[in-house]
Amino acid sequence: MEDADSGTLAGTEGAGALYVQLLGEFRVAVGSRVIERSAWRLRKASALIKLLAIARGQRLHREQVVDLLWPDLDLEAGMNNLHYVLGKARRVLEPDAGDFHFLRFDGEWLVLSPLAPVRVDVGEFERAARLAHSSGDPASYFSAIALYTGELLPEDRYEEWVEERRRALQEVYLRLHMELAGLYESRGEYAHALDVLRRAVELEPTLEAAHAGIMRLLALLGRPQEALRQYEALRAALARELDASPQPSTTRLREEILQGHLERELPSVVLAPTHNLPSQLASFVGRTREIEELERLLAGARLLTLTGVGGSGKTRLAVEVSRRLVGTYPDGVWLVELAGVASPELVPNAVASVLGVRELYTTPMEALIEALRSHVLLLVLDNCEHLVEACAELVRELLVACGGVRVLATSRQALRVEGEVVWRVPAMSLPATGKDSPPEEMLASEAVQLFVQRARTRAPDFELTEANAAGVLEICQRLEGLPLALEIAAAQVSFLSVEQLAEHLDEALGTLSGESRTPRHETIRAAMDWSYERLGPAERALFQQMAVFAGGATLQAISSVAGMPLPVVISLLASLVDRSMVAAESVGTRMRYRLIEPVRRYALRLLQDAGGAEAVRRSHAQYYLSLAERACGELGGQQQVSALTELDREYTNLQAVLSWALDGSSSEDVSLGAVLAGCLWPFWDTRGRLQEAQRWLSAALAIDGLPPAVRARLLAGAGMISRSRGEYDVAMRYFEEELALSRDTGDAPGVALALNNLGLIALDQGRYDDARAALLEGLAGWRMVGDPRGSSISLNRLGLVALYQEEYQQAEICLTECLRLRRAHGSVEGMAVTMNNLGLVALHAGAHERAAQLLGQALTLYQQLGNSSGIAVVLNNLGRLAVTKNASDRAVQLCRDSLRLLQEMGDLHDIAECLEVMAAAEARRQEITRAARLLGAASALRKSIGAPLPPVEHPMHDSTLLEVSNALGETRTLLECTIGQEMTLGEVLAYALESAPSR
């Protein structure tokens, strides 16, 4: 997610701001100057702008640009062309400039607008779509829909680098319509829902979910004949466009309408629930009977496990079944890929990450149960075989506690959970006829269908003929109808005839024939061996080295870890992808490359047998440590959003490095793991991965002989994670050791940092004199070493010490100086923090207009960064301001918006503050009972973490309590406050977020 682009073309402000429109048509504006289409005399110049605008972060590696724009040229010639086109494009953007602001290099990366704001309409639309989905507000949906002004770059319809992103944006646009229709239906506004669905059908005539939704609504409105005509329209569209028929669920809906059995209470088929199922890059072959049987089994069983050998098609079958059931589960269908998860303890974390569930000072398992207790969804756990016990435990607990959850699992062995239905995935059907049978009869076999279809992806003119039918039959029979083996074999038809393929296949599989044949999974190994033996030495080396990547990798990562130049890697990968040894997947605007899990395990065995595993793993670890250090260094700055996205995407690799390094045999490897753990703690803190952070940091701190600087960083991270968990005493012990270690080693910046951290804990605990003393000493240390960033942290916290004690003038002085320093070194997040705190000072001092201005500026900056925690804090403070201005309804809404974010972040201190402000607003709305319970809950939270109410907060708190006591009396007030105190955190959040009953 990029946050620099917002607004409209007409509203572009600032002489240097760049706006790029890609939807509907290509347009560019610099400041108020709209560039005419005729200015782009060189087509490649406009293509360069489009490429960068659509790229993540508006930046691309120069070799990637060359590869996309001049795929047929070698690198040197392509770079010459790029520099020529760059000059032309720069002159279009800045015809009179001496020093160009746009299209500059950052190392080997070409950046569209590194020095000026950039806005791209695609980013605006995607953000608006996410906002609509999270808000559930029709107005937000209409706003998002309005931003989609046409398909992506229609003038570049046949450019490969546009096609997938264009499809993805079209899917988002259609999903907005489906979700909006579902929202209207849930409100009983059927006419509005019908209008939206009909618009969706106009946009995509084969969108079956929309047709089914129209049928359902028409039937509910008493218009069954129109509903049946809609079914016929769907059937005609599917036959005409896709040569397909309606799905069984839609056909059943038609039968219900015919029989007059449709009831209003039936689950809606209109709303297309959120899911994360992968895009279907190749059509699904066969398995019709299996899919129908699995749908039937899932209707009656809460746990269905697909078992079978590696390569039997468990994953693809599970995904296809799940895709057809998306409309059945109101809260969606969620795929959790466990192949790259190495440790059993991380299984709940993997599920929580996919579902967006954050730890609220509980274990990940407890957090999952709390989040899913009232949800109805299908959880698809893929590749459980190496984590059977952990998966079984997770499933057992979820099924007991969460009645609406069903699980579809794939594993080489059963989970052995009570109530589990185990279903073994069969091989694809083989021809029932002999080798002399006509091709038409052989095509009834699913194995033959798959082979032929995949062969056509490599050789588009491939056909099953009488001449090659016998060879195809032999291949399918030898490979026993196993999908993976068939796909690997079919990939060879671009350079081998079927007869040659069958001949070599027979030689490769010769040891598997006869009575002593090995287990079936050896068939896949034989297919892999056969493909591997046909690789050149360089291809073999890269294939083996890719086994260390968990969850895939970028071109740059593969090049670095393998120690090969990027052009060489691109060439080798092209060959490996072409031979189906490596999977290429589009993630955003970039490709990632991975070995599917059975192939990765095969490659890893080869790497280990060759004796090169440790060296490659070390190279892998060093690369991802460097990536983490760079990305974590950008947290808190202008690139925070892109840094978080990169860390999220590479997190499976980072986990693999931590597991390998911290269990390493050499001190250098163990030290690397410790450095990585110390680097990642701000990411864990931001993402709410508190339990996992504590585990890794504890493991790293248990290592003897670490360099003092590494241990100090680990102590700082462990302390901050403990603080986020509300464990202030534990955090203080970590910070005290950090301080002692830094003093012993003469690390002046480390001493200042530790003092800052100790001052923060003292501030949280209400020990204001201790906080001021530690922060002043830390400030002196920062100034001594000449670190303005560190000084700004001390000044900000000193400002809070003064604010909490109602010393507004002193707070203003500290925070103003802090803001000056942060502006000077460009810390956007730092400026947002300080503006928020200055806004609080103004609010408490009675300067309400200034408070509104400062808080509004802080909110804008946090929104640009995508910092949910900061947004939540500012929203709560705006709620506090609304209370002081007697806008109680507005205050409650702001607090609820804040609390929805805070429940994801899990900061108990901020949650307590939000509950206190909400209590004040509810009291002023005469919702006295709610106010009392919220006060009680906030008090209990503060007590649980040892964070007393600051003096500056007493006036609002005491005023609210007095208002409650006057209305209820002392006895009733005590009772209601006690009810709030005894609520669990989940109960408190649910209570605070629910609307008060109408009086």
Query: Secondary structure of 261-276 in the HEC alphabet?
Result: CCCCCCCCCCCCCCEC
pLDDT at 998: 38
Q: How confident is the model at residue 888 (pLDDT cuts 50, 70, 90)?
A: very high
Higher local confidence (pLDDT), 679 or 258:
679
Task: Taking residues 944-963, report their average pLDDT.
Answer: 93
Mean pLDDT lowest among 145-159, 420-434, 529-543: 420-434
**Cα separation values, 342 from 310, 386, 775, Å:** 18, 8, 42
Mean pLDDT lowest among 114-118, 652-656, 715-719, 726-730: 114-118
Task: Taking residues 452-461, report their average pLDDT.
Answer: 81
Are 268 and 302 found together in one domain?
Answer: no
Q: Is residue 797 part of a domain?
A: no
Q: Give the tokens for residue 824.
A: 């000077």
Q: How confident is the model at residue 281 (pLDDT cuts 50, 70, 90)?
A: very low
Q: Name beta bridge partners: 21.
A: 27
Of 15-24, 244-253, 356-365, 754-763, highest mean pLDDT? 754-763
Mean pLDDT lowest among 671-680, 719-728, 799-808: 719-728
Tell whether the model's pLDDT for residue 197 goes beyond 60: yes
- pLDDT tens-place string over residues 547-566: 999 988 999 999 999 999 99
pLDDT at 514: 28
Are 521 and 560 found together in one domain?
Answer: no
CA atoms of 723 and 716, how far apart (whole Å): 11
pLDDT at 996: 53
Mean pLDDT lowest among 143-147, 214-218, 464-468, 777-781: 464-468
- pLDDT tens-place string over residues 73-125: 878 888 888 888 888 888 888 887 656 678 888 777 888 887 777 889 988 88
Are 982 and 891 found together in one domain?
Answer: yes
Tell whether the model's pLDDT for residue 270 goes beyond 50: no
**Cα separation values, 778 from 191, 385, 396, 748, 824, Å:** 64, 52, 51, 10, 20
Tell whether the model's pLDDT for residue 267 goes beyond 50: no
User: Which is nearest to 858 in space by CA: 836, 827, 842, 838?
Assistant: 836
Domain of 929, in residue numbers: 887-993
Question: What φ, ψ does residue 661 adopt, rounded to 5°?
Answer: -70, -45
Are 74 and 152 found together in one domain?
Answer: yes
DSSP-assigned letters across all residues of 14-81? STT-EEEE-BSS-EEEETTEEEPGGG--SHHHHHHHHHHHHSGGGEEEHHHHHHHH-TTS-HHHHHHH
DSSP element (H, E) containing 782: helix 768-785
Tell whether the model's pLDDT for residue 3 goes beyond 60: no
Using the 3D structure, point to which of 122, 156, 190 is the last residue of a domain: 156
CA atoms of 940 and 104, how far apart (whole Å): 54
* Helices of type H across 330-386: 347-355, 364-372
Are 200 and 142 found together in one domain?
Answer: no
Q: Give the tokens for residue 392.
A: 């079984």
pLDDT at 950: 93
pLDDT at 434: 65
DSSP element (H, E) containing 243: none
Are 143 and 84 found together in one domain?
Answer: yes
Asked if 928 contacts 967 with a C-beta cutoff of 8 angstroms, the reply is: yes
Higher local confidence (pLDDT), 319 or 508:
319
Q: How confident is the model at residue 436 (pLDDT cuts 50, 70, 90)?
A: low
Higher local confidence (pLDDT), 535 or 625:
625
Q: Is residue 813 part of a domain?
A: no
Look up the CATH number of the domain holding residue 565. Answer: 1.10.10.10
CA atoms of 60 and 51, how far apart (whole Å): 8
Higher local confidence (pLDDT), 544 or 42:
544
pLDDT at 527: 55
Tell whether the model's pLDDT for residue 652 goes beyond 60: yes
Tell whether the model's pLDDT for residue 511 goes beyond 60: no
Q: Is residue 836 part of a domain?
A: no
Using the 3D structure, point to which of 272, 303, 329 is the last residue of a domain: 272
For 773, other C-beta atoms within 10 Å of its C-beta total: 16
Tell whether the model's pLDDT for residue 27 goes beyond 60: yes
Tell whether the model's pLDDT for residue 528 goes beyond 80: no
Q: How confident is the model at residue 691 (pLDDT cuts 50, 70, 90)?
A: confident
Tell whether the model's pLDDT for residue 958 goes beyond 80: yes
Higher local confidence (pLDDT), 948 or 867:
948
Helices 985-993 & 928-945 angle (0-180, nearest 10): 150
Tell whether the model's pLDDT for residue 28 goes beyond 70: yes
Q: Give the tokens for residue 601.
A: 């395990």
Asked if 757 contacts 793 with a C-beta cutoff of 8 angstroms, the reply is: no
pLDDT at 110: 87
pLDDT at 437: 72
pLDDT at 123: 84
Higher local confidence (pLDDT), 327 or 510:
327
Are 132 and 17 found together in one domain?
Answer: yes
Tell whether the model's pLDDT for residue 14 goes beyond 70: no
Task: Taking residues 666-687, report their average pLDDT.
Answer: 91
pLDDT at 116: 72
Are 146 and 4 found together in one domain?
Answer: yes
Q: Is residue 795 part of a domain?
A: no
Task: Taking residues 780-808, report their average pLDDT.
Answer: 95
Higher local confidence (pLDDT), 340 or 981:
981
Tell whether the model's pLDDT for residue 742 goes beyond 90: yes
Q: Give the tokens for residue 510.
A: 């010769």
Mean pLDDT lowest among 168-172, 412-416, 633-637, 793-797: 633-637
Tell whether the model's pLDDT for residue 656 goes beyond 90: yes
Q: Is residue 174 part of a domain?
A: yes
- pLDDT tens-place string over residues 566-595: 999 999 998 888 666 788 877 766 789 988
Are 656 and 764 found together in one domain?
Answer: no
Q: What percent of the chain has pLDDT above 90?
A: 41
**Cα separation values, 794 from 721, 759, 782, Å:** 19, 9, 9
Q: How confident is the model at residue 523 (pLDDT cuts 50, 70, 90)?
A: very low
Question: Any long-range contacts for 754-760 (C-beta under 8 Å, 24+ apart)?
Answer: 754/712, 754/716, 754/778, 755/781, 756/790, 756/793, 756/794, 756/797, 757/716, 757/719, 757/720, 757/731, 758/732, 759/794, 759/797, 759/801, 760/723, 760/797
pLDDT at 933: 96
Q: How confident is the model at residue 519 (pLDDT cuts 50, 70, 90)?
A: very low
Higher local confidence (pLDDT), 287 or 338:
338
Tell whether the model's pLDDT for residue 11 goes beyond 80: no
Mean pLDDT lowest among 429-438, 750-759, 765-774, 926-935: 429-438
Q: How confident is the model at residue 343 (pLDDT cuts 50, 70, 90)?
A: confident
Q: Is residue 51 part of a domain?
A: yes
The count of structural domains within the chain is: 8
Task: Taking residues 637-656, report their average pLDDT.
Answer: 85
Using the 3D structure, point to which of 679, 706, 733 is the last residue of a domain: 706
User: Which is nearest to 565 in space by CA: 46, 97, 108?
Assistant: 108
pLDDT at 832: 92
DSSP-assigned letters across all residues of 581-632? SSEEEEETTEEEEE--HHHHHHHHHHHHHTT-HHHHHHHHHHHHHHHHHHHH
Q: Is residue 873 part of a domain?
A: no
pLDDT at 516: 28
**Cα separation values, 26 from 23, 158, 417, 649, Å:** 7, 15, 56, 30
Q: Is residue 255 part of a domain?
A: yes
Tell whether the model's pLDDT for residue 629 goes beyond 90: yes
pLDDT at 134: 61
CA atoms of 484 and 480, how far apart (whole Å): 11
pLDDT at 862: 82
- 452: Cα within 13 Å, side-chain hemisphere: 20
Tell whether the model's pLDDT for residue 526 goes beyond 80: no
Mean pLDDT lowest among 147-161, 517-531, 743-757: 517-531
Task: Taking residues 505-519, report their average pLDDT.
Answer: 36
Torsion over CA: 648, 650, 656, 657 (sign): negative
Look up the CATH number of the domain holding residue 725. Answer: 1.25.40.10
Enter the DSSP assignment of 411.
Answer: E
pLDDT at 198: 92
Please give the mean pLDDT across all residues of the chain: 84
CA atoms of 920 and 884, how far apart (whole Å): 10
Are 349 and 457 found together in one domain?
Answer: no
Mean pLDDT lowest among 9-13, 75-79, 130-134, 366-370: 9-13
Are 18 and 152 found together in one domain?
Answer: yes
Are 667 and 701 found together in one domain?
Answer: yes
Tell whether the model's pLDDT for residue 752 goes beyond 70: yes
Tell whether the model's pLDDT for residue 178 goes beyond 90: no
